[in-house]
């Protein structure tokens, strides 16, 4: 069992024939991901990257059994693309698009409440289960198969953590880049729950940043329910109060939003906190040697 995506996932790309969709779909196919087709309205019936193109997601579900979708659609149309995927029965929707208006995502979140699907993103690097499926824009060569789960708001720090884990002699079960927008699909807590319940994950790395309550909510859940060692890191320790830093969601609005406050809460909840991203792999290796 793996988290969210695996070798059996039947993946389509919405925005398949566009520049971004073409480039990243090619990388995914080269990695070995089971890309079964793509969607570009008006271009149905064609072939692209030796895969069929469909006009709608529902056609892709019907014709090739698609159950996972990657969205590379411009921001103005991305919310509709997410809702189309959910309406068509796609189980895992990974939205890479950044710059989606917040009010559009409010509408999407409401729309998905009664849908049987998982949204990752938007504005995220995607999800990768090494040697099985790369669904997103991550550099696949960094990720080696193993038993450490990674959940991160930051794409770059996802890759950094994976690299450190591999260099420390371990590997990755699945890495989930949840995205850094104010409103996202899968939260840090939800991703941590997936890893806690995954028998192929033995330890978890949780990378957050200033702003919002996602890391605090996850930490409190871990304190109450956690059964596996967790290493945590919060980016933005030197950010000035009240200023957006990097991601749209990374703005400090109160005392509990600061890096220091989040790190303190994480420690109180039994999480091993890295002061620097350079410590993530080493701390995880130490925890795994203790639990071995």
Q: What is the CATH number of the domain that holds 142?
A: 3.40.50.261
Task: Tell me what the pLDDT averaged over the chain comes to.
Answer: 93
Q: Give strand ranges (E) for 83-184.
A: 92-95, 118-120, 126-129, 133-136, 145-152, 172-177
Specify if 115 maps to a domain: yes
Quick one: pLDDT band at residue 250, thresholds 50, 70, 90?
A: very low
Does 158 lie in the same domain as 73? no
Domain, as residue range, for 268: 138-291
Q: In this predicted model, what pLDDT tens digit does every residue of 19-65 receive, in sequence order?
A: 999 999 999 999 999 999 999 999 999 999 999 999 999 999 999 99
Mean pLDDT of 237-254: 55
The sign of the CA dihedral 140, 130, 133, 75 is negative
Write out the two tokens for 75: 């921001």
Specify if 273 maps to a domain: yes
Q: Could you give the CA distance from residue 257 to residue 173 in angstroms, rounded to a whole number?
A: 30
Tell whether the model's pLDDT for residue 149 goes beyond 70: yes
Quick one: pLDDT band at residue 2, thresholds 50, 70, 90?
A: confident
Does 264 lie in the same domain as 143? yes
Alpha carbon of residue 56 to chain centroid: 24
User: What's the pLDDT at 5?
Assistant: 98
Q: Could you give the CA distance from residue 56 to residue 264 in angstroms, rounded to a whole number?
A: 48
Specify if 226 maps to a domain: yes
Does 110 lie in the same domain as 142? no
User: What's the pLDDT at 251?
Assistant: 52
Of 92, 120, 148, which closes a domain? Answer: 120
Q: What are the residue numbers of the active site?
A: 247
Mean pLDDT of 127-154: 97
Specify if 133 maps to a domain: no
Tell whether the model's pLDDT for residue 219 goes beyond 80: yes
Does 73 lie in the same domain as 159? no
Cβ atoms < 10 Å from Cβ of 223? 14
Specify if 4 maps to a domain: no
Tell whether the model's pLDDT for residue 69 goes beyond 90: yes
Specify if 129 maps to a domain: no
Does 172 lie in the same domain as 103? no
| CATH label of the domain that carries residue 100 | 3.40.50.720
Note the pTM of the prediction, 2 decimals.
Answer: 0.94
Mean pLDDT of 282-288: 97
Does 115 lie in the same domain as 144? no
User: What's the pLDDT at 257?
Assistant: 73
User: What's the pLDDT at 291?
Assistant: 75
Q: How many domains does the chain have?
A: 2
Does 116 lie in the same domain as 152? no
Specify if 126 maps to a domain: no
Of 120, 151, 169, which closes a domain? Answer: 120
Specify if 3 maps to a domain: no
Tell whether the model's pLDDT for residue 246 goes beyond 90: no
Of 68, 94, 120, which closes a domain? Answer: 120
Tell whether the model's pLDDT for residue 16 goes beyond 50: yes
């Amino acid at each position: 069992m793996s988290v969210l995506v695996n070798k059996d996932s039947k993946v389509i790309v919405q925005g398949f024939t566009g520049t971004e969709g073409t480039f990243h779909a090619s990388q995914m196919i080269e990695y070995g991901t089971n890309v079964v087709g793509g969607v570009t309205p008006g271009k149905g019936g064609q072939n692209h990257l030796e895969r069929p193109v469909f006009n709608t997601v529902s056609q892709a579900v019907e014709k090739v059994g698609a159950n996972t979708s990657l969205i590379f659609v411009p921001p103005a149309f991305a919310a509709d693309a997410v809702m189309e995927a959910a309406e068509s029965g796609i189980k895992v929707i990974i939205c890479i698009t950044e710059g989606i208006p917040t009010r559009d995502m409010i509408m999407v979140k409401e729309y998905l409440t009664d849908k049987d699907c998982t949204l990752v993103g938007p504005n995220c690097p995607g999800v990768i289960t090494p040697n099985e499926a790369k669904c997103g824009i991550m550099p696949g060569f960094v990720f080696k198969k193993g038993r450490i789960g990674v959940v991160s708001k930051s794409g770059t720090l996802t890759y950094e953590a994976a690299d450190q884990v591999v260099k420390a002699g371990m590997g990755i079960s699945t890495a989930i880049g949840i995205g850094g927008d104010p409103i996202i699909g899968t939260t840090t807590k939800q991703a941590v729950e997936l890893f806690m319940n995954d028998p192929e994950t033995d330890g978890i790395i949780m990378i957050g940043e200033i702003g919002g309550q996602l890391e605090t909510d996850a930490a409190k859940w871990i304190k109450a329910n956690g059964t596996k060692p967790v290493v945590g890191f919060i980016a933005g320790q030197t950010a000035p109060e009240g200023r957006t830093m990097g991601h749209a969601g990374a703005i400090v609005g109160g005392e509990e939003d600061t890096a220091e406050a989040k790190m303190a809460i994480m420690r109180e909840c039994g999480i091993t906190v890295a002061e620097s991203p350079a410590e993530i792999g080493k701390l995880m290796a130490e925890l795994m040697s203790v639990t071995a």
